A and B are shown apart, each in its own frame.
Chain A
Amino acid sequence: MITDKAKELLAAQLLTLINGGTHKIGLGGNSTSPLATDLDVAVTGITVTPAVEQAAGNNLQIKLEVLGSDITGLVIREAGIFDSVPNLLQRVNFEGVGPFSSTERLQIFINIEVD
């Protein structure tokens, strides 16, 4: 039996990892290979601002925010969470969103649970 405390500590460790990383969004929408090391088509030269919160002990909520001015005219289909190395820790692909105007912002929320 894995205790709740163990899960909470592991979530905290995950939070530390994610906080140290530079995260990306991209244009590729294919499904994710477990062996993937990067996004399919990462949008480069932009700033992805993360905000990671640990909630309810073993839950993590990751918020990635990108200014619309950075992705004007682009349709975003993937996002990636990296650590400081950077290793790709998580990739999510989704139906394409966009395009965005320069005054808009794209916010991506990912909930993760250590169970």
Chain B
Amino acid sequence: MRLTELVTDLFYNPINPEELNKDFLQNSMGDYWSANIEDVTQSSGATCQISSFGSFSGSALTVREVTMTLDATPTNLAANDWLIDMATGIIWGKVKTTPTSAAVAIYQYRKVGTDNNSAPSGSLYKIDEEHIPANGSRYTYGKEVDSSLYKLKSTGRKHHPNKMLLFGSANAGILGNHTLFPDNAWYTHYGETLLKIHTGSNDIGAVGPLVFGNDDSSPFLVEEVVQNCTPDGTTSLTVQDSSVINIGAYINKGAIANTNPTVSAGTYVTAIPDSTTVTLSSAASGSAGSVRFVTKTNKKNVHLHSLFRQYDSAKLGSLTATGTHADLSAHSLVVLGNFDVEDADGRRATAGESTYSLTSLNLECIDSDVDMVFPMYNGIKWGFYGTSSGQHDYSSIDGGFSGFKFIVYSADIGWRPIADDTDKSAAGNKTYKQHKVSHKGKYNYLRHLDLTGCYLVPLHGKDIDNNTISGSFPTQRTDIYGGNLSEVIYVVSHVYDTTTSITDDEDFSFITLDREIAANTQYKIMQPSPVCMWPNSPKEIQINHISAKYTKMPESDRMYGSINDFGYKEGSRRDREFGGASYNLPNNNEGISSMYVIVDLDNRGGNGNTVIRNTSANDNILASSTTNAFKGELCLSDGETNLVTGASISKRLGPDVHTITLEERTKLLGVVSCSEIFELKVNGSVSRDTKRAMIGTSIDISKESEALVEELFTENNISFSLVPSSYPIYTSPDFQGTSLYILAKYLLSLKNKTMFDNAGVITVVEENSSTLMSKFEFDDSNIIEYELVDSGFDFYNEIILYGSSHKSVKKNVRSINEVGRKTLEIFDKKLTTQSEVDKRARELLKIHNTETTNLEIKTHIRYAQTISSGDIVSVIINQENIERNLYMVLEMKYEISGQTTLLLGKYSKSIEDRFAEILLANKQTDSYIRRKDYVENEKAFDFFEDIKIKEINLVIRKRTATGQTVGFTSTLNTGTTTLGFGSGVTHTVLSEEDL
């Protein structure tokens, strides 16, 4: 599995850093509007209270007018202001005319209160008419007094959440200066430089995609105050009233020097000692005169969206906002691609260029209307490294698709020290660690993100030369061989703290980790990448190695290699890798890092981790020493794509790292299984496009429908004729209790076929085959007599059909209205899909809902010699105006007179099947409800051989002794035979017969 750094757009939406969607646009934030709700005050400053209401007038259908009496005359209520109920946050009225007394004429829209049925009472609140947006905007109203309103300059326009303007220098004398860049479209359009406020340290920066409009209805942004001031030649400046000036306020928007008093460009207020004095960042001289201070209004604590809270906490110009919601010191900015901008010049932004860490969100004036953008500085310089100032490229400007990356530093508050009460018992006798981290300050990004399922990867390990990279100071973050120094940590849970009451604007996240976070260690935030391997991934994959070389560049098939600095002419990341001059400087061009880890489902590593965290556990899985390397073929599979390639697995020391070397690569998704090749012999060939064989998988063995019919007929010794279709349909429905006839009909119907008895041979034909057409016709010429008779076939106008798991209801509404509802409920468990159930229900409704009168005709035998029951015949009787129609011969009666009576039923397609089904219905029901768990042999053959015990014959004879006996004639003892001899014995057959 490959872990890749978590990257978000500038609005904290997680994005895939390997795939850049340049065409994506999100709705303008200007579509969302929040109102500033204010108290309606009286001259004393107290909030006005509602005393009573008069009688309503006007039409109830439109707007009702009423006079509302307050306890005092309001001082800030004007016509068209909206009246707000704070209990429910709804607008309940509108001021009709600006009041001059305590009686206020209003339009009342509705009642209020928690029951939505009370008259407004108590304190009166309003939204100023100026703050009400034009129709078409989306209204979202705040409920709090301090809630703020934001307006974007480009209301209604969509923007790309990653688009930023990158520039080599924020210096007002360079960027956007028409003198230096005559073709500068910015200057041509606006007649002034891009950014008005700057400091020398912020040489290179980036401007975010939002442009805030500034006007009187925008308390969030910039206020301008003009005062008469007197300089004294120092940084101290005497003003009329310092209470309306904020620390950080710039003079003349910072970009323009002031005359009388003389103040240089970029000067701002650093302190306010007393009510008439301010301290400036540079000395003011000259004579007294008016000075325009530009400042940002004080931030509000209540916002409808946390992003607005972040923007509101931003400081003007280069003032940092660390410790606030605008703190970006755990953020770094990374370029994913570039786009053309006006006056693009110099080096182009390329993917991978990134900052070390930013400082805070800033606001800058960009034109004379003091519209605002938010540039981001990294506190040092964008892309700066090296000591050769001559290599700096301040003049470059380009558009850059950029994103945020984040770090966690365990030395910060909330992460360590680990308190005992952070222990959380978990399944498997484990103990997790829970941290409570504030959103106010460095980790404000936790408010916008859910880190559940991410990994904290320590920047603590070895470089390629086995030098230890300290976790406390990330001097080299591009290539770290993670070993046993610090382990990867899994974020089990990240939830918003809903238990701590918010007294200020500070709230918290609870982050539960599966192990203790190491002391003084920087962690990258990584998450499983949707793509494990790309075709151009390195051949050698080092496990637990943090590197951008495993990450694909957006808009390219290549992986990150050497990354140039945006603001540096010739430098590259490689300068640091090989001990260049900037080797120990913060790495600000690291690209997007990835790290391969082993997923160990069977605990082969031995420490119970599903994702292997350290080198020693990898010893048990990959290679325990440098001498027992594996070499052979491996199969890598993501379940869809298989890659069989020659591979080797080895281990090296100093730094300790396991390497998997693959001869071939391809795109593999998610968690890739890696296994040695072995042969599996199967009985027969695998004819389908089978991608994988899984041990233990469950399969559904089914046969092709026509092949199954053939087998069933053959097994039951039924003669049949079937020409298979050229296409297969596989099915395996539940056939228990189904008769062979219905089963065969169903299987054939899947291919739009049916069958009929053709002189003892079941013949399968297409449903539309001509063999099913009628070949007999009766009309006036051969009908002797006819009679309409009532049919025994049931009439239904509603069919409810239950399949194995679907239900279909078909009804003839017209018939229901005429004769009432007659419902037939049918259970047919062999129907397994909704379409099958619907189709069958439709057929049944057609059959049962047609005319049920039968026709009995008499004809001469010669017209019906070859007709038998079940045949389809055509009948037309012009005399009685009976139109030609198809009938089925239900019954035939032959009479001695030579006449034949045919009972004909109105024929409807598949009605013959329906008859068969009805006949078999009871048997089917009994069979279906029998138990399914009988132990039985699928094939049982009984042979009956006879063994006969046969009586052959009977002989009865008489034995008689004759003549004289020589010797004794007496018998001996008790015997009956006489002693002596001489007498003869005669046998006389009395009877002899064969039996």
Chain A residues lying within 8 Å of B948, measured Cβ to Cβ, are: 114-115
Chain A residues lying within 8 Å of B947, measured Cβ to Cβ, are: 2, 6-7, 10, 114-115
Chain A residues lying within 8 Å of B958, measured Cβ to Cβ, are: 68, 97, 100, 104-107
Q: A111-B953, A112-B952, A114-B949 are in contact. List 8 more A-B contacts (CB 8 A).
A: A2-B947, A76-B956, A97-B990, A107-B958, A112-B951, A113-B949, A114-B950, A115-B947
Which residue in chain A gives the minimum CB-CB distance to B962? A103
**A1-B945, A94-B991 are contacts. A107–B957 as well, Cβ < 8 Å?**
yes
**A10-B947, A104-B959 are contacts. A95–B991 as well, Cβ < 8 Å?**
yes
Contact B960 A113 (CB under 8 A): no
Selected A-B contacts with CB under 8 Å, 25 pairs: A2-B947, A10-B949, A76-B956, A92-B951, A94-B956, A94-B993, A97-B956, A101-B960, A104-B958, A104-B960, A105-B960, A106-B956, A106-B958, A107-B959, A108-B955, A108-B956, A109-B956, A109-B957, A110-B953, A110-B954, A112-B950, A112-B952, A115-B947, A115-B948, A115-B949
Contact B951 A111 (CB under 8 A): yes
> In the complex, what distance in Å separates the CA atom of A103 from the CA atom of B987?
13
CB distance from B949 to the nearest CB of A (A): 5
Q: Chain B at the A interface: mostly helix, strand, loop or mixed?
A: strand
Chain B residues lying within 8 Å of A65, measured Cβ to Cβ, are: 959
Q: Which residues of B approach A to under 8 Å, CB–CB?
A: 945-961, 976, 987, 990-991, 993, 995
Contact A90 B956 (CB under 8 A): no
Does chain B have a CB within 8 A of A48? Answer: no
Contact B951 A14 (CB under 8 A): no
**A97-B990, A97-B991 are contacts. A108–B954 as well, Cβ < 8 Å?**
yes
CB distance from B40 to the nearest CB of A (A): 114
Contact A112 B993 (CB under 8 A): no
Q: Chain A at the B interface: mostly helix, strand, loop or mixed?
A: strand
> In the complex, what distance in Å separates the CA atom of A103 from the CA atom of B963?
13
Does chain B have a CB within 8 A of A67? Answer: yes
Contact A109 B955 (CB under 8 A): yes
> In the complex, what distance in Å separates the CA atom of A6 from the CA atom of B662?
71
CB distance from B976 to the nearest CB of A (A): 6
Chain B residues lying within 8 Å of A68, measured Cβ to Cβ, are: 958
> In the complex, what distance in Å separates the CA atom of A67 from the CA atom of B945?
42
CB distance from B992 to the nearest CB of A (A): 9
CB distance from A27 to the nearest CB of B (A): 14
Contact B952 A111 (CB under 8 A): yes
CB distance from B518 to the nearest CB of A (A): 85
Chain B residues lying within 8 Å of A90, measured Cβ to Cβ, are: 951
CB distance from A14 to the nearest CB of B (A): 7
Chain A residues lying within 8 Å of B952, measured Cβ to Cβ, are: 59, 111-113
> In the complex, what distance in Å separates the CA atom of A113 from the CA atom of B954?
12
Q: Which 9 pairs from chain A and chain B are nearest by CB? A: A111-B952, A109-B955, A105-B959, A97-B990, A113-B950, A115-B948, A107-B957, A104-B960, A108-B956
CB distance from B350 to the nearest CB of A (A): 90
Q: Which residues of A approach B to under 8 Å, CB–CB?
A: 1-2, 6-7, 10, 14, 59, 65, 67-69, 76, 90, 92, 94-95, 97, 100-101, 103-115
Which residue in chain A gives the minimum CB-CB distance to B961? A103
> In the complex, what distance in Å separates the CA atom of A42 from the CA atom of B955?
19
CB distance from A99 to the nearest CB of B (A): 11
Chain A residues lying within 8 Å of B959, measured Cβ to Cβ, are: 65, 104-107
Contact B950 A115 (CB under 8 A): yes
Chain B residues lying within 8 Å of A69, measured Cβ to Cβ, are: 976
CB distance from A103 to the nearest CB of B (A): 6
> In the complex, what distance in Å separates the CA atom of A103 from the CA atom of B965?
14
> In the complex, what distance in Å separates the CA atom of A18 from the CA atom of B63?
119
CB distance from A109 to the nearest CB of B (A): 4
CB distance from B990 to the nearest CB of A (A): 4
> In the complex, what distance in Å separates the CA atom of A69 from the CA atom of B971?
14
Which residue in chain A gives the minimum CB-CB distance to B959? A105
> In the complex, what distance in Å separates the CA atom of A95 from the CA atom of B976?
28
Chain A residues lying within 8 Å of B960, measured Cβ to Cβ, are: 101, 103-105
> In the complex, what distance in Å separates the CA atom of A90 from the CA atom of B949?
11
Chain B residues lying within 8 Å of A113, measured Cβ to Cβ, are: 949-950, 952
Chain B residues lying within 8 Å of A101, measured Cβ to Cβ, are: 960
CB distance from A115 to the nearest CB of B (A): 5
Looking at A14, A69, A90, A94, the one whose CB has the most chain B CB atoms below 10 A away is A94
Which residue in chain A gives the minimum CB-CB distance to B976? A67
**A1-B945, A14-B949, A114-B949 are contacts. A109–B961 as well, Cβ < 8 Å?**
no
> In the complex, what distance in Å separates the CA atom of A74 from the CA atom of B597?
110
> In the complex, what distance in Å separates the CA atom of A109 from the CA atom of B987?
13
> In the complex, what distance in Å separates the CA atom of A110 from the CA atom of B995?
9
CB distance from A74 to the nearest CB of B (A): 13
Which residue in chain A gives the minimum CB-CB distance to B957? A107
Chain B residues lying within 8 Å of A105, measured Cβ to Cβ, are: 958-960
Which residue in chain A gives the minimum CB-CB distance to B987? A107
> In the complex, what distance in Å separates the CA atom of A6 from the CA atom of B945?
12
> In the complex, what distance in Å separates the CA atom of A97 from the CA atom of B955?
11
CB distance from B944 to the nearest CB of A (A): 11
Contact B949 A112 (CB under 8 A): yes
> In the complex, what distance in Å separates the CA atom of A2 from the CA atom of B949?
13
CB distance from A16 to the nearest CB of B (A): 14
> In the complex, what distance in Å separates the CA atom of A103 from the CA atom of B428?
104
Chain B residues lying within 8 Å of A59, measured Cβ to Cβ, are: 952
Which residue in chain B gives the minimum CB-CB distance to A94? B991
Which residue in chain A gives the minimum CB-CB distance to B988? A104
CB distance from B984 to the nearest CB of A (A): 12
CB distance from A68 to the nearest CB of B (A): 8
